[in-house]
Structure 1
Amino acid sequence: MPAAFAPLRHPAFRLLWWANLAANIGLWVQNTGAGWMMTSLDPSPVMVSLVQAASMLPVFLLALPAGAAADIVDRRLYLIGAQAWVLCVAALLAVLAFAGWIGPWGLLAFTFCIGIGNALNFPAWAATTPELVPREDLVQAIALNGIGFNLSRALGPAIGGFAIGAAGVEAAFALNALCFLTLLLALLAWKREAPVRSLPPEHFLGAMRAGMRFVAASPAMRAAILRACVFFFFTSAVWGMLPLVVRKGLGLGPEAFGLMLGVMGVGAVATGFALPALRLRLPTRGGMVTAFSLVSAAALALLGVSGHWLPAGVAMLMFGAGWLAAASTLQAAAQFATPAWVRARAIGIYQLCFFGAMTVGAVLWGWAGARFGIAPALLIAAATCAIAALAVRGFPLDAAPPAEAPSVAMPSPEAPADELRHILGADSGRVLEVVRYTVDPAERARFLAAMREVRRVRLRSGATAWRLLEDVAHPERWIELWSVESWTEHLREAGRLDAADRAALARAAAFQSADRPIEAARYLTVQP
């Protein structure tokens, strides 16, 4: 089997990959039908762009709670529920469209409801991939998911365009429902081995807070989110205005609209297969994203000046290449920046941010199209996309190799007293953790530098607050304080640390004076 398809040798991944391909084809058929239907119901640039915004807004609103739910409940049942919702809404939309009972605002409402199902699905599906393949196949599995998504982008719009031309938009909506039924049946057939939990599941609100704290304390995730927002905000101009470019600028019909999106998908799929070779020329993820952001900007400019289908097709081919390379690289960067325990939540926050950028961008570029004209708006988007891509290229997406951890004794607090064990649990109240260091004052600056990384480690692993205190009478004495929400959350901390986190803690502990051990203690918050 070629290396590009190696993850397909795993039966569960293969089953869900093919089913997800069918569902994504249906989603693009749905998007094509909704965008084209709106050009008939209300052809203003703002209303057409609102179709794209309505499909993306639910991700902005629900990505974080969806990610938290996907991390704390059985992921298979969660995905089944999400697909069942999309199937029911898609089927109802098809029935009402056949009856002729859908107006412009009704279409936006149904598009929003389908977007709710997709918002619930996205973070859970992203977090499921590492369960389906071993670690050595994970990178290619992520790439293969991107190839599948863009293969559906190549096929779905073309199928949708021809379905609309042959039987109307109602047929496109019905086909979407059928495709999601395929994915629902595959999820029912998937025999997932639920992970063994030694601790009770996290509370929903606490899980969301832990996810936000992790992202806030993770420089790699912050860089991925920032660069994704920049890229997707400017490139959303294509999604918001392409139906009008085809209908008004080129004077073509729904088949051409579907083919334009299909050409874009072809460019994306071809680039997906070429990514291993491209990584040899652009070995850093940051360099890859910058280069293909500029390719996307050039595609926006070419689309803006095109008055014929041929240059417009070339622009969409270029745009598909830039979109796939940049989007899949950003997604991989976000995946590798998150450990398993928080992956769905962190990916949910990542998707919340970039889908929010796409939603705002689609509305803004639709307004710019109405105010200045379609071509000028695309040219403005192209210029600002290139400038912004160059402005954020200094935010690295590649993690630095971890420094070697010193071999030192780590602090270990005393075991809880027997008379207090009965109150230690999820309802114990806040736990304050304390570590006391004795450090040579000559090492103060280096110790503070090490503790800055310790702070990020504590916050990523669940701390709600962190402080470092220096004794004004004895400058060699330091106290590190941090709090967690409960005793159960304290017990989760050790399982959330990876090798790099433990190395950072060891580097800080190495500053301890040799004549005395580091002291550690834990305190419960008590209401007198």
Structure 2
Amino acid sequence: MSVAATVPPVANTSTFASLRVANFRRFFIGQSISQVGNWLTVLAQSLLILHLTGSGFAVGLLTAALCGPVLLFGPMAGLIADRVDKRKLLIGVQSAAMVQSLLLALVAFSDDPSIPAIFVLAFMGGVLTALDNPARRSIVVEMVPVESVNNAVSINSALMTGSRIIGPAIAGGLIATVGYGWCFLIDGISYIAVLIAFARMNPAEFRRAEAPAPGKGQVRAGLRYVRNEPVLWVPLVMATIIGTFTFNFSVVLPLLVVDSFGGTDTTFTTLLSVLSIGSFVSALALGRRAVVPLRHVWVAAAAFGVSMLGLAAAPSMAIAYPIAVLIGASSIAFMVSSTAIVQLNADPSMRGRVLALQAMVFLGTTPIGGPILGAICEWIDPRAGVALGAVAALVAAAYGWSRDPDRITPRLYRSAPAA
């Protein structure tokens, strides 16, 4: 189905061009509310486990429970996203996520919160994330015309990082005053907004790709496709390295703040909010680009690594806060650039599977790195865990630089997929 037949053309001349598309605007509003609630749960889960166990390794295991299902079920989830109506799939997934958050609230409100129950519900949340991620990211591409895809990706990233500014600030206040349970309860209620948004969308305006034909080997076909496309393969390899050792913020940052700087839960949520300010500004600045070269990805990875080294060496929170702004800006630049390259260059019929692979390497590798980093932070020093993440980002940047065809034959990867 052609773009012209479904989505009205939108000139990509402003930072917020994609918001002129009604379906994307509804999606943005619903996600703006729901993602703030999601960050309440993300922060409250990690801090509750740290409070109950006092163990960095336990926080790493929680991260593994949350992200492990993305690694286990990611390829199949991507195939499901390619085959079914993404809007209906997301309505079902978001409804189940609401139930999961409300169950977490019941556990947290109890006199003796059950650690096993928290881990089981975290795993349930991970399964839902595995289903949600490729479908949600694919549907963003289907909502807007081709020339606005990068703008939509950047706005969506700004939304995510904006919620990471507001969510931790609210979570810190709630935890300090009324406890962890209210974070989960408010998150559960916030899903109503995104469910209303999906219900009010006009499916006829989506720019849908043809579903893959039923048959065996569809998951393997997606893997072969990515491996044979360097424009997709190189960013995914870089994301695998960085996702494993550098993006484990929920593991290393609480331990760095508490153990190395002598801070509190509120200090941690403040650091995360400051980091997210850098991410938010960076995401908005990136939204005006229509074409993305691979150079942007490896330069962002290098800046990410250098910033993380600075955080590992920071002598105080006063120095850590401005460095966190740089970490936020460089990390989101890496995510937005690599995501845009993948979304713009993936064949539409393969997009769900390709984005599922990207989710696997961004999130699904966390169960591998999370416990390792948690153990390093607990048994050696949190600064060592941060430094390991910094080195990993620099290694990824070096790999991207060495595989960048623009260094040999200058060119830009095509800015739009086949309609």
Q: Which TM-score applies when normalising by structure 1? A: 0.71
Cα distance in structure 1, aligned partners of 2:165 and 2:185? 19
User: In the superposition, relative to structure 1, how do residues 178 and 498 fare at CA in structure 2: closer, same or farther (>3 Å)?
Assistant: closer
In the TM superposition, residue 120 of structure 1 has moved relative to its aligned partner by 0.8
Q: Which amino acid aligns with 2:312?
A: G
Cα distance in structure 2, aligned partners of 1:232 and 1:289? 14
Residue 317 of structure 2: aligned partner:
309
In the TM superposition, residue 353 of structure 1 has moved relative to its aligned partner by 2.4
Query: Residues 238-286 of structure 1: CA distance to partner in whole angstroms, max 9, x if unpaired?
Result: 3311111222222222222211111111010111222368x79xx8633
Residue 81 of structure 1: aligned partner:
92
Other structure's SS at 1:251 match: coil
Name the structure with the higher strand share.
1
Cα distance in structure 2, aligned partners of 1:402 and 1:383? 28
Cα distance in structure 2, aligned partners of 1:69 and 1:360? 25
| Residue 156 (structure 2) pairs with residue 145 (structure 1) | yes
Cα distance in structure 2, aligned partners of 1:236 and 1:289? 15
In the TM superposition, residue 237 of structure 1 has moved relative to its aligned partner by 4.3
| Residue 305 (structure 2) pairs with residue 297 (structure 1) | yes
Residue 368 of structure 2: aligned partner:
360
Cα distance in structure 1, aligned partners of 2:191 and 2:86? 18
User: In the superposition, relative to structure 1, how do residues 238 and 73 fare at CA in structure 2: closer, same or farther (>3 Å)?
Assistant: closer
| Residue 194 (structure 2) pairs with residue 183 (structure 1) | yes
Residue 56 of structure 1: aligned partner:
67
User: In the superposition, relative to structure 1, how do residues 350 and 196 fare at CA in structure 2: closer, same or farther (>3 Å)?
Assistant: closer
Cα distance in structure 2, aligned partners of 1:169 and 1:268? 26
| Residue 269 (structure 2) pairs with residue 261 (structure 1) | no
Cα distance in structure 2, aligned partners of 1:30 and 1:45? 18
In the TM superposition, residue 63 of structure 1 has moved relative to its aligned partner by 1.6
Higher RCO structure, 1 or 2 (CA under 8 Å, sep 6+): 2
Moved more, 5-14 or 309-318: 309-318
Residue 72 of structure 1: aligned partner:
83
Name the structure with the higher helix share.
2
Query: Residues 50-77 of structure 1: CA distance to partner in whole angstroms, max 9, x if unpaired?
Result: 2222221121122211111111112111
Q: Of residues 238, 245, 248 in structure 2, which corresponds to 1:227? A: 238
Query: Residues 173-204 of structure 1: CA distance to partner in whole angstroms, max 9, x if unpaired?
Result: 11111122221222122231288999986327
In the TM superposition, residue 349 of structure 1 has moved relative to its aligned partner by 1.6
Whether contact under 8 Å (2:174, 2:180) holds in the other structure is: yes
Whether contact under 8 Å (1:286, 1:395) holds in the other structure is: no
Moved more, 236-245 or 150-159: 236-245
Unmatched segments (≥5 aa) in structure 2: 1-11
Alignment of structure 1 residues 124-139 onto 2, 5 Å: 124-139=135-150
Q: Indicate the RMSD between aligned Cα atoms, in angstroms.
A: 2.8
Other structure's SS at 1:390 match: helix
Other structure's SS at 2:213 match: coil
| Residue 201 (structure 2) pairs with residue 162 (structure 1) | no
Cα distance in structure 2, aligned partners of 1:317 and 1:110? 32
In the TM superposition, residue 135 of structure 1 has moved relative to its aligned partner by 1.5
| Residue 51 (structure 2) pairs with residue 37 (structure 1) | no
| Residue 109 (structure 2) pairs with residue 98 (structure 1) | yes
Q: Which amino acid aligns with 1:291?
A: V
Q: Of residues 352, 358, 363 in structure 2, which corresponds to 1:350? A: 358
Residue 404 of structure 2: aligned partner:
396
Whether contact under 8 Å (2:43, 2:168) holds in the other structure is: yes
State the 4+ residue runs in structure 1 displaced beyond 4 angstroms. Answer: 194-201, 397-403
Residue 517 of structure 1: aligned partner:
none
Query: Residues 128-175 of structure 1: CA distance to partner in whole angstroms, max 9, x if unpaired?
Result: 112211112111011111111111111111111111112111011111
| Residue 15 (structure 2) pairs with residue 4 (structure 1) | yes
Residue 8 of structure 2: aligned partner:
none
Other structure's SS at 1:365 match: helix
Whether contact under 8 Å (1:220, 1:397) holds in the other structure is: no
Cα distance in structure 2, aligned partners of 1:82 and 1:308? 42
Cα distance in structure 1, aligned partners of 2:405 and 2:372? 28
Other structure's SS at 1:4 match: coil
Q: Which amino acid aligns with 2:303?
A: V
Cα distance in structure 1, aligned partners of 2:319 and 2:381? 19
In the TM superposition, residue 99 of structure 1 has moved relative to its aligned partner by 1.9
Other structure's SS at 2:246 match: helix
Residue 390 of structure 2: aligned partner:
382
Alignment of structure 1 residues 197-216 onto 2, 5 Å: 202-203=213-214, 205-216=216-227
Cα distance in structure 2, aligned partners of 1:202 and 1:159? 46
Residue 326 of structure 1: aligned partner:
334
User: In the superposition, relative to structure 1, how do residues 175 and 199 fare at CA in structure 2: closer, same or farther (>3 Å)?
Assistant: closer
Identity of aligned residues (%): 25
Residue 25 of structure 1: aligned partner:
36
Cα distance in structure 2, aligned partners of 1:198 and 1:228? 26
User: In the superposition, relative to structure 1, how do residues 142 and 78 fare at CA in structure 2: closer, same or farther (>3 Å)?
Assistant: same
| Residue 305 (structure 2) pairs with residue 285 (structure 1) | no
In the TM superposition, residue 338 of structure 1 has moved relative to its aligned partner by 0.7
Q: Which TM-score applies when normalising by structure 2? A: 0.88
Alignment of structure 1 residues 462-477 onto 2, 5 Å: none
User: In the superposition, relative to structure 1, how do residues 393 and 100 fare at CA in structure 2: closer, same or farther (>3 Å)?
Assistant: farther
Cα distance in structure 2, aligned partners of 1:356 and 1:59? 5
Whether contact under 8 Å (1:296, 1:322) holds in the other structure is: yes
Cα distance in structure 2, aligned partners of 1:354 and 1:98? 32
